[in-house]
Amino acid sequence: MGWTGYGRLWKTVAKSNRTGRGACRILRRKGEQTSMESDAPRADVLAARHAFFGRRATPSGLVPPAILKSWQRCAERGFDSHHGPLIEPEPMERLKEHRERNERLLRASRPELAALRREARDSGAIAILTDAAGVVLDAAGDAGFAGKAAGVALRPGVAWSEAATGTNAIGAALLERRSIEVRGAEHYFEPHRILTCAATPIFDPYGALLGAIDLSGPAAAPPAHALELTRLAVDQIERRMFEESLADAEVIRLHADPALLGTAQEGLLAFRGSRLVAANRHALRLLGIDWYALGARSFRDLFDGAPQRFDQVSRLRSREGVELHARLRPSPKPVGGVTLDAPPKPAPAATLEPARPEEGPAFDAVTRADLARAARLVDGDVPVLIRGETGAGKEVFARAVHALSRRADRAFVAVNCAALPETLIEAELFGYEEGAFTGARRAGSKGLLREADGGVLLLDEIGDMPLGLQARLLRALQERAVTPLGGTRPHPIDVRLVSATHQDLAAMVADGRFRADLYYRIAQYAFELPAFRQLPDRRAALAALWATLPTGGRRLAPETVERMAAFAWPGNHREIVGAMRAMIALSEPGETVGPDLLPPAARDAGSVAAPASAPAEGGLDAARQAAIDAALAAAGGNVAEAARRLGVSRSTLYRRGLARRR
């Protein structure tokens, strides 16, 4: 939408304001703190700086609370406010990688950036797009001010997160997850006082943080209505991404004012079947819900009744009693007569051939909502625990969380605690100095914890970590520092922690096999990944997995799908993908793959199938034993073959349950 379009939208919004207030004020979103947006007298900010930086006092009431909290965090990091941060732009090759990784965001933002740049040139400012880590992907506007901004590193390739450049609008908007303006001396570093910046974060339809739009100008003459302009731009970007991502879903457009239906101010809700799978922030605010509702709420959970027709505006009443105007866009390809007011019917046993593979892991809507939730927890430095059987996708889930988090461009280090020999795990985790033990490398080793510094650390199969080593890990996590073997000096680390296990850690704590203090440290929020046999729609899961593979036009025959859906698959998704790869290798391009190419156990699915109605009783231990029993039965009692099917070593199979059966 061009800048003229923004003007028309502002007029529409202003006209719809029944109390006569201006467009800028009505655009301020309900529930957001606006004190940071008001013009604080310069004397107040200077007095606050004198109190905070000169007398080490807390200047309550002189600057907005969010600014003060940001100053306090920067001071805790040891930043010297009198000097600018020592940062350099990323090399061009690295910046190119950032842009390629965020190509979808750049494409969706292009029209709004063009409009903002014209406004920026007219007002002596620059418009900026960043990724979720605050790295500037693009910046343009007034050439004169752009030169001054470059002098304080406000240019492509520089990370404007709070941790890198102190208090600033981009970093604050990403951290606070809302629109924020930082004016002149409110910036932490003295050289940044030449700037007044306004930024709004960008979210995808599933609640994942993608980046931010910023409008920065000179502190002496800031661009007019900068915060509202960034909000309008982000509304358009998020709306465009919503339309592209949910073309196959049923979409409800709603607003309290019918004049705003069809504009970037409308609320958007996407449903597949009767389940809410995506939304924008306007819809969440209108209904009084948050991103956690995705995958967990149905249409009837949110509304009384249902829209009567697709081709006209209907009235909807939310469960909270809010009257809304709504228009429903039906799915272009409804399956089996699915509607919003009825649960979806099972898909017919048809040949599986998706149009094209989706990016990312093959998770259902509920798990995708969990992914967005886990990313927010990781961003908030809350340790996350992922529980699930072997092959259920724990590491895939963890990597997706990293990709959705603010640390997506930082290191992701996965440590398999079950695969490391007990004699080496301490050295691998914490590193070692030269000569620390016989066979140590001459230059020593940083260790995996330090390799993850600044990024995300996955401790996979943490239940297999030796009890004696758990105390040292706990100390490193609490102190956020690592002392290598043979060393005396601790090295600070900044990691976000994700742990994963197939075991029942709470039961292990009760048995004395896992430290309670470590458990409560790593399991502050837990997610459970379902086994394949527990999925409500196993055919859809098979289709999603098949879509991720290079099939060469091959198709799965309906009978093959039925056999695969009926089989327990004790190795879960890992075993299924292995079987699919084998069927691809054994067939010809374009062939319809029959059940004769399935592994023997899956061909005779009836003998080993597990009930699909509910998880196995007794938690993960019982599920693990059931998987071992099923694998042994399918392998005719051959332990090596059963271990191969489960994706574990023979010794691991003995250690995790087989020994107890004999």
| Whole-number Å distance between alpha carbons of 166 and 79 | 8
- pLDDT tens digits along 132-153: 888 899 988 877 776 677 666 7
pLDDT average, residue stretch 391-413 = 86
Q: What does DSSP say about strands 496-501 and 384-387: parallel, antiparallel, or unpaired?
A: parallel
Q: Is residue 238 part of a domain?
A: no
Residues 515 and 636 in one domain: no
- Predicted confidence at residue 564, as pLDDT, reads 92
Q: Is residue 235 part of a domain?
A: no
Q: Is residue 340 part of a domain?
A: no
Q: Is residue 402 part of a domain?
A: yes
| Whole-number Å distance between alpha carbons of 529 and 234 | 33
Residues 508 and 654 in one domain: no
Q: Bigger pLDDT: 232 or 433?
A: 232
pLDDT higher than 60, residue 68: yes
| Whole-number Å distance between alpha carbons of 378 and 399 | 12
| Whole-number Å distance between alpha carbons of 421 and 428 | 10
Residues 68 and 8 in one domain: yes
Residues 434 and 570 in one domain: no
pLDDT average, residue stretch 574-588 = 89
- What are the C-alpha distances in Å from 250 to residues 171, 176, 247, 459? 35, 31, 8, 39
Q: Bigger pLDDT: 577 or 334?
A: 577
Which residues, including other chains, have CB under 8 Å from residue 80's CB and lie 6 or more apart? none
Q: Which of 123-127, 167-171, 380-384, 606-610 has the lowest mean pLDDT?
A: 606-610
Residues 49 and 176 in one domain: yes
Question: Please, are residues 354 and 546 in contact by the beta-carbon 8 Å criterion?
Answer: yes
- Predicted confidence at residue 546, as pLDDT, reads 86
Q: Is residue 137 part of a domain?
A: yes
- Choosing from 329, 349, 381, the residue where a domain stops is 329
pLDDT higher than 90, residue 600: no
Q: Which of 232-246, 296-310, 605-619 has the lowest mean pLDDT?
A: 605-619
pLDDT average, residue stretch 590-618 = 65
- Predicted confidence at residue 434, as pLDDT, reads 63
- The token pair that represents 387 in the structure block: 């529980």
| Whole-number Å distance between alpha carbons of 119 and 215 | 10
- Predicted confidence at residue 439, as pLDDT, reads 47
Q: Bigger pLDDT: 574 or 332?
A: 574
Query: What residues are paired with 318 via a beta bridge?
Result: 303
pLDDT higher than 50, residue 475: yes
pLDDT higher than 80, residue 437: no
pLDDT average, residue stretch 363-379 = 84
- The token pair that represents 524 in the structure block: 């502050």
Residues 173 and 215 in one domain: yes
Share of the chain above pLDDT 90, in %: 21
Identity of residue 103: E
Residues 383 and 497 in one domain: yes
pLDDT higher than 60, residue 537: yes
Per-residue pLDDT band for 357 (boundaries 50, 70, 90) equals very low
- pLDDT tens digits along 177-189: 899 999 989 999 9
- The token pair that represents 269 in the structure block: 């809700």
Q: For 478, phi and psi rounded to 5 degrees?
A: -70, -40
Q: Is residue 222 part of a domain?
A: yes
- Predicted confidence at residue 648, as pLDDT, reads 56
- The closest of 384, 381, 404 to 394, measured between CA atoms, is 384
- What are the C-alpha distances in Å from 123 to residues 74, 111, 198, 264? 31, 19, 14, 24
Q: Which residue range forms the structural domain that includes residue 543?
A: 533-661
Residues 320 and 384 in one domain: no
Q: Is residue 264 part of a domain?
A: yes
The enclosing domain of 378 has a CATH number of 3.40.50.300
Per-residue pLDDT band for 617 (boundaries 50, 70, 90) equals very low
- What are the C-alpha distances in Å from 559 to residues 127, 188, 545, 549, 585? 56, 65, 17, 20, 19
How far is residue 168 CA from its own chain's centroid?
23
Q: Is residue 351 part of a domain?
A: no
- Choosing from 528, 558, 586, the residue where a domain stops is 528
Question: Please, are residues 239 and 172 in contact by the beta-carbon 8 Å criterion?
Answer: no
pLDDT average, residue stretch 10-32 = 36
Residues 456 and 605 in one domain: no
Question: Torsion over CA of 222, 225, 229 and 232, rounded to 10 degrees?
Answer: 160
Mean pLDDT of the chain: 77
- What are the C-alpha distances in Å from 586 to residues 563, 591, 593, 598, 605? 18, 10, 9, 10, 20
Query: What residues are paired with 396 via a beta bridge?
Result: none
Per-residue pLDDT band for 164 (boundaries 50, 70, 90) equals confident
- Choosing from 475, 508, 528, the residue where a domain stops is 528
Residues 439 and 516 in one domain: yes
What is the number of alpha carbons within 13 Å of residue 242 lying toward its C-beta? 29
First to last CA, the chain: 70
Residues 477 and 547 in one domain: no
- Predicted confidence at residue 443, as pLDDT, reads 52
Which residues, including other chains, have CB under 8 Å from residue 364's CB and lie 6 or more apart? 295, 535, 537, 540, 541
- Under DSSP, the state recorded for 329 is E
Q: Bigger pLDDT: 629 or 176?
A: 176
- What are the C-alpha distances in Å from 122 to residues 155, 218, 264, 572? 19, 13, 24, 59
pLDDT higher than 60, residue 581: yes
Per-residue pLDDT band for 199 (boundaries 50, 70, 90) equals very high
Domains in the chain, number: 4
pLDDT higher than 50, residue 507: yes
CB burial readout 391-416, b (16+ within 10 A) else e:
bbbbbbbbbbbbbbbbbbbbebbbbe
Which residues, including other chains, have CB under 8 Å from residue 393's CB and lie 6 or more apart? 361, 363, 529, 572, 573
The enclosing domain of 133 has a CATH number of 3.30.450.40
Residues 155 and 270 in one domain: no
| Whole-number Å distance between alpha carbons of 281 and 207 | 9
